[in-house]
């Protein structure tokens, strides 16, 4: 069995490995299926977040494996920078703008000027609360949890709902620690 | 500097001697004009308030934060923070949380390990030494000789009598085993032969310390000359 | 030179993987206890080294050597730890462990959709790739 990425070790080298449109359509089909399977928008949003989380906890390893220069972050500003300029850029091809820091510096927004997930999407009228791209929130939460950052992530604005931009809010909750081995301390 | 500290651990795992040659202590100050402080996640650790997350970056040099994770809060607006409190008795955290304290200047410092902490860490090393023998994949291994961190090493030797000599040194320093042996010699001369020293007790022999400093100084000089000859050859 | 064995731990103290290439001394306790002991030792050494570091508060632990063997550890920012035991003549193997992480663990474990994070790794493909890699190293002896 030959590995798809075997010879392309850098992030740059595999940019074109899957067509963007195929990805967008696949995601669309997935959300549409969820809409059929679940009753409430809240439940769909939750499912998307959960899926995203499961992707995030794996995706972070792929990201770190290919970006050996990225070490552990020691402040939220650096984390936000790497998340947007490297994470988003690598996997979605966009660089969200970081804005609206809370005075305490524990919360910020990601402003998505474009969102490849929503390229061809019009929300059905009977799903006013559906957060179509909610999977992104889950991915961020899962990925950051793996690097010991417990965060809350949610959509504040969404272009699909008539807002001017898409805005994702990230709130730092706490720093996680390695498990203390049983019987120690 | 090649050698940072020297420790001696008794057979029972007690720290009986500790001496620092050089111990660089980073510190940094940050000022906030308005409430609240931005991005700092502080945590009480023992008697100190430590920065857990949210390093303060140097605006001029990236990657070299002014205040690093692990630094402790030492003063607020010039007033010393002792045991988590200001001289007037208010707790440091409550002052930082109070909008009327602003503008506020916080000074952080990398604190040297206290003597109690060193006793704790060295007794930990003592038991880890034994575990490293037990976990050896090969028969007949002794314990850890060299513990490697990214930026420095802890070199360790145990005598037949169970006393451990420990030297904290920079990366790839020459002739550390010889230095350890030399310190062992000094110990047997100025500590054990001192009739007023009782075994396994903390070493308070001035002659020992003075001679140790001499040995370390000459080690540094020799190391310096090794380095200068290698650079000259290049 | 000899590579004895490799452990992979996640940050919750579970041993995800163990592989042995050479005969190792019995240490007289069950494998579970042995792994717990190893994790506990590494955990303690990590905090000891960061506390005693004269250079930086975020100094990392990369290994230790005795007169007979050498323990190498590579820790990812996600807290996964790769611990390799070799004989004491081995040099710095950080790059090798990093290779195992980036090119073998991430590819064959993390990207395997059937693998549930935090559970024991039983992928034969992973074992095969790992064996091939270790055995391709000049120091590997059976």
CA distance A42 to B179: 68
Q: Is pLDDT of B234 > 60? A: no
In a domain, B173, yes or no: yes
> What average pLDDT does the segment A68-92 reach?
90
Residue among A66, A72, A146 whose CB faces C102 most closely: A66
pLDDT single digits (tens) B110-169 = 888 889 999 999 999 999 999 999 999 999 999 999 999 999 999 999 999 999 999 999
Query: CB–CB of A58 and C58 under 8 A?
Result: no
Query: CB–CB of B134 and C66 under 8 A?
Result: no
In a domain, B233, yes or no: no
Number of domains making up chain B: 2
pLDDT single digits (tens) C97-138 = 999 999 999 999 999 999 999 999 999 999 999 999 998 887
pLDDT at A16: 53
Domains of chain C with bracketed CATH = 3-136 (3.30.450.70)
Question: Which of B75, B91, B109 is the last residue in one of the domains?
Answer: B109
Kindly state whether residues B119 and B214 are assigned to the same domain. Answer: yes
Of B36, B33, B73, B66, the residue nearest B52 (C-alpha): B73
- Taking all residues of chain A, what is their mean pLDDT, rounded to a whole number? 87
* B69 contact residues in A (CB cutoff 8 A): 74
CA distance C47 to C61: 9
> What average pLDDT does the segment B202-224 reach?
91
Kindly state whether residues B147 and B78 are assigned to the same domain. Answer: no
Chain pair A-C, CB pairs under 8 angstroms: 60
Give me the CATH number covering residue B147: 3.30.450.70
Kindly state whether residues B19 and B121 are assigned to the same domain. Answer: yes
Chain B's closest residue to A177, CA to CA, is B52
Distance from CA of A116 to the nearest CA of B (A): 31
Cα four-point dihedral sign C26, C28, C30, C34:
negative
Helices and strands counted in chain C (H then E): 3, 5
Residue among A9, A71, A179 whose CB faces C77 most closely: A71
Kindly state whether residues B215 and B118 are assigned to the same domain. Answer: yes
pLDDT at C141: 60
* B137 contact residues in C (CB cutoff 8 A): 4-5, 22, 24-25, 69, 85
Q: ipTM of this predicted complex?
A: 0.91
Give me the CATH number covering residue B75: 2.30.42.40
Question: Which of B67, B91, B109 is the last residue in one of the domains?
Answer: B109
Kindly state whether residues B125 and B214 are assigned to the same domain. Answer: yes
- Alpha carbon separation from B142 to A64, B130, B132, C84, C108 (Å, rounded): 37, 9, 8, 18, 37
Kindly state whether residues B70 and B10 are assigned to the same domain. Answer: no
Domains of chain A with bracketed CATH = 41-175 (3.30.1380.20)
In a domain, B226, yes or no: no
In a domain, B234, yes or no: no
Q: Is pLDDT of B19 > 80? A: yes
Kindly state whether residues B14 and B127 are assigned to the same domain. Answer: yes
pLDDT single digits (tens) B169-191 = 998 888 899 999 999 999 999 99
Q: Is A175 an interface residue toward B (CB < 8 Å)?
A: yes
* C39 contact residues in B (CB cutoff 8 A): none
CA atoms within 13 Å, Cβ hemisphere of B75: 9
User: Which two three-digit tokens encode residue A41?
Assistant: 């928008």
In a domain, B232, yes or no: no
According to DSSP, residue A45 is labeled: H
According to DSSP, residue B149 is labeled: E
pTM of structure? 0.87
Q: H or E segment at B153?
A: strand B152-158
In a domain, B204, yes or no: yes
* A70 contact residues in C (CB cutoff 8 A): 77
CA distance B130 to B218: 33
Q: Is C129 an interface residue toward B (CB < 8 Å)?
A: no
pLDDT single digits (tens) C25-80 = 888 889 999 999 999 999 999 999 988 888 777 788 999 999 999 999 999 999 99
The whole-angstrom distance between residue B195's C-alpha and the CA centroid of its chain comes to 31
Query: In this structure, what are the phi and psi dihedrals at residue B120, rounded to the nearest 5 degrees?
Result: -65, -50
Chain C's closest residue to A69, CA to CA, is C77
Which residues neighbour B146 within 8 Å (Cβ) at sequence distance 6 or greater? B153, B154, B155, B156, B176, C64, C65
Of B143, B186, B147, B180, the residue nearest B162 (C-alpha): B143
Q: For residue B7, what are the domain limits?
A: 3-23+114-221
Residue among B68, B71, B142 whose CB faces C66 most closely: B142
CA distance B150 to B23: 17
* B134 contact residues in C (CB cutoff 8 A): 27-28, 37
Kindly state whether residues B54 and B170 are assigned to the same domain. Answer: no
């Amino acid at each position: 069995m030959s590995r798809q990425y075997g010879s392309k070790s850098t992030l740059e080298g595999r940019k074109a490995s899957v067509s963007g449109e195929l990805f967008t359509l696949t995601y669309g089909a997935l959300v549409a299926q969820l809409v059929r399977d679940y009753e409430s928008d809240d439940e769909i949003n939750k499912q998307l977040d959960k899926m995203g989380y499961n992707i995030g906890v794996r995706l972070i390893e792929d990201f770190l494996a290919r970006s050996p220069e990225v070490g552990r972050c020691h402040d939220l500003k650096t984390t936000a920078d790497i998340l947007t300029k490297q994470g988003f850029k690598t996997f979605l091809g966009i660089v969200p703008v970081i804005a609206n820091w809370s005075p305490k510096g524990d919360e910020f927004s990601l402003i998505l000027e474009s969102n490849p997930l929503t390229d061809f999407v019009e929300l059905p009228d009977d799903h006013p609360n559906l957060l179509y791209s909610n999977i992104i929130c889950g991915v961020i939460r899962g990925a950051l949890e793996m690097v010991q950052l417990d965060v809350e992530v949610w959509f504040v604005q969404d272009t699909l709902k008539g807002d001017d931009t898409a805005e994702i809010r990230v709130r730092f909750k706490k720093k996680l620690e390695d498990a203390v081995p049983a019987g120690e301390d | 500097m090649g050698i940072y500290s020297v420790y001696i651990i008794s057979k029972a795992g007690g720290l009986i001697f500790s001496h620092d040659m050089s111990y660089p202590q980073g510190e940094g100050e940050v000022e906030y004009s308005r409430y609240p402080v931005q991005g700092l996640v502080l945590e009480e650790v023992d008697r100190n308030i430590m920065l857990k997350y949210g390093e303060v970056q140097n605006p001029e040099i990236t990657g070299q934060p002014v205040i690093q994770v692990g630094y402790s809060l030492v003063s607020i607006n010039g007033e010393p923070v002792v045991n988590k409190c200001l001289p007037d008795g208010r707790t440091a955290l409550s002052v930082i949380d109070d909008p009327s304290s602003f503008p506020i200047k916080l000074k952080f410092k990398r604190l040297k390990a206290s003597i109690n902490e060193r006793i704790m860490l060295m007794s930990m090393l003592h038991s880890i030494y034994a575990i490293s023998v037990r976990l050896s994949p090969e028969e007949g291994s002794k314990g850890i000789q060299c513990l490697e961190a990214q930026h420095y090493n802890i070199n360790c030797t145990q005598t037949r009598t169970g006393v451990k000599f420990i030297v904290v040194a920079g990366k790839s320093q020459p002739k550390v085993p010889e230095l350890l042996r030399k310190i062992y010699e000094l110990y047997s001369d100025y500590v054990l032969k001192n009739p007023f020293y009782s075994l396994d007790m903390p070493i308070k022999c001035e002659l020992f310390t003075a001679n140790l400093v001499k040995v370390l100084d000459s080690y540094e000089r020799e190391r310096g000359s090794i380095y200068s000859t290698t650079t000259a050859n290049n | 030179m000899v590579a004895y064995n490799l452990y992979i731990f996640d940050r919750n103290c579970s041993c995800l993987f163990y592989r042995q290439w050479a005969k190792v001394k019995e240490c007289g306790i069950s494998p579970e206890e042995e792994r717990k002991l190893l994790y506990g030792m590494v955990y303690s050494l990590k905090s000891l080294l960061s506390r005693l570091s004269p250079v930086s508060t975020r100094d990392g632990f990369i290994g230790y050597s005795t007169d007979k063997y050498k323990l190498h550890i590579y820790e990812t920012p996600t807290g996964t730890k790769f611990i390799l035991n070799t004989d004491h003549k081995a040099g710095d193997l950080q790059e090798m462990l990093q290779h195992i992480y980036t090119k073998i663990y991430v590819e064959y474990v993390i990207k395997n959709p059937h693998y549930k994070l935090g559970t024991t790794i039983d992928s034969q493909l992973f074992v095969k790739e790992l064996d091939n890699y270790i055995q391709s190293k000049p120091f590997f002896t059976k």
